[in-house]
Structure formats: structure tokens, C-alpha cells
Amino acid sequence: MSGNSNIKNLVPNFIVYLNGSRFTADQEASVKQITVNNTVDSISSFSISMSDTSRQWTDSSDLEEGTQVKIMVGYKDDVGQIINGEITSINPQFRMNNDDIVIVRGCNIMHRLMRGKKTRSFNEKEDVDIVKQMLQECNVKGDVQDIGSDHLFTMQHNQTDYEYLTAMIEKYDCRMYVDDKTLVIKKIVDAQTSDVVIEWGKSLLEFNIQTDTGLLLSEVEVRGWDNEKGEAVIGTSKAKDLKKVFDKNSFGGQIVDKSFGGAKTILVDNGILDQNGADELSLDIISNNSASYIHGIGKTEGNYKLNAGSIIEIKGLGTRFSGKYYIESVKHVFDTTAGYVTYFNVARNAT
């Protein structure tokens, strides 16, 4: 929904499915508020607040832990899915002199990776194969690109699968999110560019943006050891080597180099076994670091097309800050009284 939309004149609408069956008329009439938090690298969640004066929903077998919930929001006939998850919690609230309510809470399928810490080793396996093994064990579908490297030996030490994966994706400049019921692990450069354009003075209601050079690197050096050749391998990447993701060219690391004399980090990694691995990891580290240059938080008229893990365009912010941004998190709030709004957090590495 971009440009001069008539969204303010439309009536917000929602659809909820339980195990594939749509909410009944009574269930829909009881809904007071729906909130969905969708975040990359983290478990997304939802809550449905329902009026429950006669305990019909507190005791309902429809709303039990494990029930699959799909939530769609929008306007009139234009609605789209904002989460497909599972109920993990039922929260009745009994209040004197006020309406009793029950809040149904749940998460997307990523929550399955949080259940139980493990200590085990992986021998002669690539990172992508380790990821696929973990997802298969949790009965989670995956869309994982060819990431990481081949390990002679690596450990999952007293970690949940979720903790192991979040550490891995940070190292390789990847992002993890759920698309419908599939867990996706991809690099930002492979993020999907959506058709969403939001503009200040139109659909964009609030926006606060900030540059921060405090932790930015201008150069990364990674050192490893090639056992076959019996020699050290060194991979080096600079800010100018970053792959272009957005429609801007002044990377934060280059600004640090020009303005403050640069900032270099040196990393020794025993998992690096050849030159290619050293080169790739050094680029991944500086790419991941560069994403901390610009962060923005905003509020817009409700828009189900805003999804964490995709790239949107923001207009009307002047020459420096208008353009494309990577969505890190989104919060959709549908309220039967106040209407439908979307909050979001975005980032990018250049101006």
C-alpha cells in the first residue's frame, strides 16, 4: 500500500484460522485485539485477546496448546497473512467490575528449536548440513542456502538448537526468519525486495532514524591454518568490498575510515582451513557489522505486506535517508476500537 492510498477510509478486517477452520461468528465477535510481533533472528509471536464473560473460550477445546493458528489482517477483502503459528499459552484474566478476557498466545514454528539444551559433536559436516539435521529433528521445514564452511569437528555445547543457530548466522552474516511454516536462513543480499512503498505525510505516521559509527569496522582480517599446505591463511575485507544491497553508496565503514582513521579487527578462527574460507568469513563479518550503521523505527497505517526479512522503500525523508531499508522487525496491532497500525524497525549500511 503506497502513495496516496485511501486506507484511512477503509474498515480494518481480520480472519483467524484454527487448524485450517475459520473462527466462528461468535469467536470473531469476541475478539478485542490482535497483536503479532515478527522479528528476524528471533521467535515471532502472536496474541489474541477475546471477551470471555461466560467462560466459553477459557474452556473451549478449540483453543488448546498446539493448535495451529493462521492470522490474516487488512481492509475489507484485501487481507494478508501476518503469521502462521501454534498456540503455546492460554491466559484467562478474571476482573471484578470489568469484562473477563482470555488471551491466546503463541509463536511461529521457530519456538520448537528452543526446547531442550544439547551437548554433542558434529564431525566432518558442513554448516548447512548441521542446520538441516536440527530442523529435521524438530520437524521443521527449512529453506537454507549454501552457507558456512566444512568442519572437521565442531560442538554444540549446552545449547538449544536455536542458540546454536543464532550464533552461527551472526558469524556468517545471515538472517533467520519464518515464512509461513518454513524456517528461512539467508544473507541480507539475498533478501526479497517487496513492492511496499511508504511515504512520509501519507501512509507513514512516525519515523525516527539514527546513524551510529561507534561500532563500525573499516577492515576485517581473519586468520586460519591450512593443514594440507602447512601454512597460515589470511583473509582481508574492507568496507569498500561490501556487496551493494541498498540504493546507496557511502558505507558506514568508509566514513569511519575517512573521518576517524579507520577501525580494524583481527580474528583467529581454528575452523578456517583454507584461503577461500578466510576470505568469505572476513567479508561476512564486515557485512554483518556494517548493518549497524543506520537504524530507524516507525509507525504506519496498518499494512500486512510489511514483513521482517524483506526490503521496503521509504520516501519523503530527504535525499540522504530516503530509499530502501531492510526490515528487522514488525509489530501489527489490530484493535476493534482503535483500528489497525503497524510498527517497524529497519536498518541499512549506507547513505
Confidence check: pLDDT of 288 > 90: no
Neighbours of 300 (CB within 10 A): 25
Cα 169 to Cα 174: distance, rounded to the nearest angstrom: 5
pLDDT band at 151 (very low <50, low <70, confident <90, very high): confident
Cα 234 to Cα 275: distance, rounded to the nearest angstrom: 7
Cα 298 to Cα 326: distance, rounded to the nearest angstrom: 13
Q: Average per-residue pLDDT in the chain?
A: 90
Q: What is the pLDDT of residue 271?
A: 77
Residue the block writes with cell 511508504: 198
Q: What's the whole-number mean pLDDT along residues 286-305?
A: 94
Q: What is the pLDDT of residue 7?
A: 52
228's grid cell? 594440507
Q: Where are the domains of the chain?
A: 7-108+190-207+294-348, 113-189, 213-290
Residue the block writes with cell 519515523: 207
20's grid cell? 485450517
Q: What is the pLDDT of residue 2?
A: 44
Confidence check: pLDDT of 140 > 50: yes
Best CATH choice for the domain 7-108+190-207+294-348 from the list 3.30.200.20, 3.20.20.70, 2.30.300.10, 3.40.630.30: 2.30.300.10
pLDDT band at 9 (very low <50, low <70, confident <90, very high): low
pLDDT tens figures, 20-53: 999 999 999 999 999 999 998 899 999 999 999 8
Q: What is the pLDDT of residue 167?
A: 87
- Listing DSSP states for 143-178 in one string gives EE-S-S-EEEEEEEEEE-HHHHHHHHHHHTTEEEEE
Q: What is the pLDDT of residue 99?
A: 85
3-class state of residue 137 by DSSP: helix
- Listing DSSP states for 23-68 in one string gives PPHHHHHHEEEEEEEEETTS--EEEEEEE-TTSTTTT-TTS-TT-E
> DSSP code of 127?
H
Q: What is the pLDDT of residue 153?
A: 79
Find out whether 73 and 82 touch, Cβ atoms under 8 Å: yes
Give the CATH fold of the 113-189 domain: Phage tail protein beta-alpha-beta fold (3.55.50)
126's grid cell? 558442513
pTM equals: 0.88
> DSSP code of 274?
S
